[in-house]
Structure 1
Amino acid sequence: MRAQPVITAIGPRGPMTVNGQVAKSLEALIRCGTAGVTALEVASWAYRLGAYVHNLRRDYGLVIETMRETHEGGWHGRYVLHSPVTIIGPKL
């Protein structure tokens, strides 16, 4: 069994430890910066990106904007992290 990814960081509420897919989502949000990230861009591993973003908002108080991008046939969300987050632990 593979070990879960873990990130230790400093966020708006202070130190935090984020595990699993939520940690990978946080790392993607930080890496993508103001360009943000969509579920399609991380589809190889983030099967529920919206849920992971919800957890980051609820559990860690992060401000993550959902930008609505229209396309033929509907729309999708692009998530942009606005809270300052500094990774102090292992990077993925």
Structure 2
Amino acid sequence: MSGRLTVTAAVTDHAGSREIAVRGQTAKALLALVESGRKGATAADVAGWAYRFAAYCHDLKRNHGLVIRTDREPHPGGWHGRHVLESRVAILSVDGIDGDA
């Protein structure tokens, strides 16, 4: 395997089932959301690789039609967002490398 990380997934929603493919950091964000399940993920959870986690979640929502809820969680000095994947997503394949995704 070589090249940029690519994740292919099946999304099931009210309109039926469809397949999406995402690449790079957006692919890593999708994997993190699926892995985190109902508890969701924050930027702090993925700080080792995702400097703009909310932007990757926005891309998944806007360009791929996923439903991702963002809850505000207070912390000293403000709040952060916890992103929770609400769409039913099944990962079909993970290809490429993630080192420079």
Which category describes the TM-score, using the shorter chain as reference length? over 0.9
Greater fraction of residues in strand: 2
1:30 corresponds, among 6, 28, 34, to 34
> Among the aligned pairs, what percent are the same residue?
48
Q: TM-score, normalised by structure 2?
A: 0.84
| Matched letter for residue 20 of structure 2 | M
Structure 1 length-normalised TM: 0.92
Query: Please, which runs of 5 or more residues in structure 1 have no aligned partner?
Result: none
> Aligned AA for 2:9?
A
**What is the deviation of 1:79?**
0.3
**In the alignment, does 2:79 pair up with 1:75?**
yes
Correspondence for 2:93: 89
Question: 1:37 touches 1:79 (CA, 8 Å); kept in 2?
Answer: yes
Give aligned pairs, total. Answer: 91
Query: What is the alpha-carbon distance in structure 2 between the residues aligned to residue 71 and residue 78 of structure 1?
Result: 12
Secondary structure of the 1:3 match is coil
SS in 2 for 1:22: helix
**Root-mean-square deviation (Å):** 1.5
- Give the superposition deviation at 1:90: 1.8
Contact 1:9 1:17 in 2 (8 A): yes
In structure 2, stretches of 5+ residues that fail to align are none
Runs ≥4 residues deviating over 4 A: none
